[in-house]
Chain A
Amino acid sequence: MPWKAIACSERGTSHQKSRLPCQDYTKFIRLNNAGKPANDREIIIGAVSDGAGSCKYSNIGSELAVQTALKHLQNCAKELKENQKDLSPEILEDWANKAFFKTLETVKKAFGQKAKEKSCSPKDFSCTLLVIIASPNWLAAMQIGDGFIVTRNRKPKSEYKLLFYPSKGEYANETTFVTAANALEKMQVKTLFEKQQFICAASDGLERIAINLKDLQPHPPFFEMFERALEIRTEDEERLSTKDWLKSKDVNNKTDDDKTILLFWYEYSEPGRNPSPSKVEKHNIYYITFLVNVLSGIFWNSLYHDLFIDIKFNDLTLQWMISVLIAVLLTVVIILVNFYIYKPLKYSKSLSEKVKSLFDLLIISFLGLALGGALYYSIRKSILYLFQLQSPITTPK
């Protein structure tokens, strides 16, 4: 499952006081290569919507907007999948602009129908809308109204990036809604043709906690705590813990609005290959390598000694030929053994990590070989000394 994802909404304290329902809504779906919902594949689509406080059906509106947008984009994603081989930043951008334009149309249409059913105005469903589509290699997002989307790409030490500036009016209680006449103008769309590690979308209830509004920069500790949690916890664990956190006093002291968070975290694994080794596995590999190399060292040295010191060949060329042959054979065997052991390390996350692992293994191999040789000779010498022998084997002449 490449994408770990969490979607959580909690009612704000002011909504509890005035007995309003939670007017936020969020959801995500994962798609497989055929564009069908499946939990094990690459594309993930998520949306967040915040219903307007003053509109009586905005809780229905936010849910309808999210559901409609997801359903519509699921179909759009299929289209994209078919010609994904030659996907370029331009094609992606073009596709995103069209897809989001149609999404807004579809949502508005759905509002129109619902308004007829309930015989009210579509404006009664007023809500904001934030949508993200992500694959392992790219991301497309749109935003109408307030709330925020923050991403961090997979390059080491990359920083959190606020995708869109919040679209606020002058006053804190003003923003654009999907139902506004100028919603299309105010819709912001962005595509990133880079591999994302972490994506977070939230309603404006969390804005002041997560974003430094003075310079409009994400507040890294806020996002780090979610990223760390997603890395080590399972989805279910983290969903519960996020829910608790959203309900906590710490959060409620800072915001009285409904709060919603949608989190995507990319789990690195390639199908059919071993996952990268853990620390314990890595240490085990080091021990085995060391042991194998010590044994090879003993074997090699004993063979060498037996063949070329104890046994004297008449023909010098033959002796050299045999010695080179055996040396090459042994070297190949040792390298093969070492390579086999090294294999799991090949899937370490980054290049620097790989190089470091390789370097460690080389040092361990050499040390092992040297120790093996030293062991052989010390054992040999001590046996000879103990038994007061001059030479264990009489050299045939």
Chain B
Amino acid sequence: MPIGNVADFAVNQEPRCPVVLLLDNSFSMSGEPIQQLNEGIAVFKQSVEQDTLAKLRVEVAIVSFGPVAMCQDFVTIDQFVPPLLNAEDSTPMGKAIEYALDLLEDRKEDYKNNGIQYYRPWVFLITDGRPNDDWQNAAQRVRQGEKGKKFSFFAVGVQNADMAILRHIAPPTRIPLLLNGLDFKSMFLWLSQSMKQVSHSQPGTTTMVPTPPVGWGQVVT
């Protein structure tokens, strides 16, 4: 069994557009929410796949928390098989965010060592609760990273999510959004469009997608 996740670079030399999905699968997500979330991920794959170059460029990794686990290491969309998440336990959000950021840093090293160009990564956090661990350090890392343009961080709350804490975690320039009901599909569709756009962007393009995006979320004050 090969160690590491770099074998594909020899075959696919396209620049990568990495996105980390940080998904809450705590117990409160059980039932309808987790099912909708799973469907949303499948929609994401289908949508990106329609674009022949984007499916070679967009790389997705999934970190689920409840407890923190690497559900899917970085894989390009053409080889991505959407997982089925089950609602499990608690909400260690702080640990999960730090895990995801480390994963991203390692991935950037892989890109550099293999001469693969890449776009600014996205971290997409979806939660329906409040962290039950120490999240202060994670929040600081998110803000520093966002400021240093290391990645773009998006936070999305579902139903009873603690938006106050999410606002402390998310960077001030991109406030967290509350999902309309359980409309994960619209959200993932928007994400796939954005990723396609980024993966085709050329020098000079600003990768910033305007927030708040219309259609699937709203800003809660």
Taking Cβ atoms with an 8 Å cutoff, the residues of A that contact B are 14, 50, 52-55, 58, 126, 128, 145-146, 168, 170-175, 177, 204, 208, 212-216, 253, 256-257
Contact = CB atoms under 8 A, between A and B. Distances in A.
6 contacts: A53-B201, A53-B203, A170-B120, A171-B117, A213-B115, A216-B115
Interface bin, chain B: 20 to 34
B15 A172 contact: yes
A174 B203 contact: yes
B200 A177 contact: no
B120 to A, nearest CB: 5
A53 B205 contact: yes
Consensus secondary structure, chain B interface: loop
A173 B207 contact: yes
A213 B204 contact: no
Nearest to A18: B200
A54 B204 contact: yes
> What are the 10 tightest A-B residue pairs by CB atom distance, in nearest-first order?
A52-B204, A214-B115, A53-B202, A213-B115, A172-B117, A172-B15, A175-B203, A54-B205, A54-B204, A173-B201
Interface string B1-33: 000000000000111000000000000000000
A177 B203 CA distance: 9
A213 B13 CA distance: 9
A52 B202 contact: yes
A175 B119 CA distance: 12
Contact of B203 (A173, A208, A213, A256): A173
Given A172-B15, A213-B13, A213-B115, A53 B204 contact: yes
A268 B119 CA distance: 45
Contacts of B119: 171-173
A231 B14 CA distance: 32
Contacts of B206: 54
Nearest to B200: A14
B118 interface: yes
A257 B200 CA distance: 8
Nearest to B202: A53
Interface string B89-117: 00000000000000000000000001111
A177 B115 contact: no
Contacts of B165: none
A285 B37 CA distance: 82
Nearest to A214: B115
B70 interface: no
Nearest to B118: A172
B200 A52 contact: no
Contacts of B15: 172, 208
B117 A256 contact: no
Interface string B114-132: 1111111000000000000
Contacts of B149: 170
A58 B201 CA distance: 15
B55 to A, nearest CB: 13
A172 B119 CA distance: 5
B205 A213 contact: no
B53 interface: yes
B63 to A, nearest CB: 22
B207 to A, nearest CB: 7
Most chain-B CB neighbours within 10 Å: which of A14, A54, A172?
Answer: A172
A58 B13 CA distance: 27
Contacts of B120: 170-171
Nearest to A126: B204
Contacts of B118: 171-172
Contacts of A146: 203
B210 to A, nearest CB: 14
B200 A213 contact: no
A58 B115 contact: no
Contacts of A126: 204
Given A208-B13, A213-B13, A173 B202 contact: yes
Contacts of A257: 202
Nearest to B108: A170
